[in-house]
Amino acid sequence: MLTVALPKGRIAKLTLEKFEHAFKEKFEFHNRKLILKKTNFTFLNVRSQDVPTYVNYGSADLGVVGLDVLEEKSYDIVKLLDLQIGKCKVAIGLKENETINYNKSLIKVATKHENITKRYFEKKAMPVDIIKLYGSIELAPLVGLADCIVDIVETGETMKENGLKVADTILESTAYLIANKNSYTLKKQAIFKLKELLDVSV
């Protein structure tokens, strides 16, 4: 029996399609149910950012999660397979007519990705004030809350529609199949079978 944490949100649909293709059957969490049982498998419907937590603690043997989420915190998990879905980048966004003012003593950056942001600016030895937001990040520079943002760019539409541009790409992200370390040892055969199924269904 394998328990797999599947993400809600941005990559939910693509992930379910991927599993439907691999299992050749319908995948759907009915009536807001958070658990889906199949022969030899239990699937959990969890917030994208929580997937590595379920896997880390062993409540799920496997999970599907974006590299951006994995890079934001450090988890003691095994990265098994790049599923090549949910392609996006974590990028610096700026007002279209602006450039980053490197002479400023402190640059204000709004983001959901505090650690990725911190690491990026540390490497450049630029002092930053990181302002944590939970969504609609693109709004921050428009109302003077921040000088720039670090956010997910998928199609680029949200930035474009709000008069922002990508100033630099920090990370290219796709969704990964991840495994709990103990499960990876104890249930290796079953895990590899699933990995192969998902791999050939690319």
Binding stretches for ligand PRP (CB under 6 A): 10, 135-138, 151-158
Question: How many CB atoms sit inside 10 A of residue 122's CB?
Answer: 11
In angstroms, what is the minimal distance from the CB of 19 to ligand PRP?
Answer: 21
In angstroms, what is the minimal distance from the CB of 168 to ligand PRP?
Answer: 15
Distance of alpha carbon 197 from alpha carbon 185, whole angstroms: 19
Nearer to ligand PRP, 137 or 198 (CB): 137
In angstroms, what is the minimal distance from the CB of 185 to ligand PRP?
Answer: 35
CA 156 to chain centre: 17
In angstroms, what is the minimal distance from the CB of 11 to ligand PRP?
Answer: 10
Q: Angle 64-69-74 (CA atoms, 0-180°, nearest 5)?
A: 105
In angstroms, what is the minimal distance from the CB of 68 to ligand PRP?
Answer: 10
115: nearest Cα among 100, 128, 99: 128
Indicate the pairing of strand 62-66 with strand 175-180: antiparallel
162 Cβ contact list (under 8 Å, min separation 6):
138, 139, 142
Nearer to ligand PRP, 52 or 66 (CB): 66
CA 129 to chain centre: 23
Nearer to ligand PRP, 17 or 154 (CB): 154
Nearer to ligand PRP, 91 or 191 (CB): 91
Nearest to ligand PRP by Cβ — which residue?
A: 135
Tokens for 126, please give them: 């630029």
Nearer to ligand PRP, 47 or 124 (CB): 47
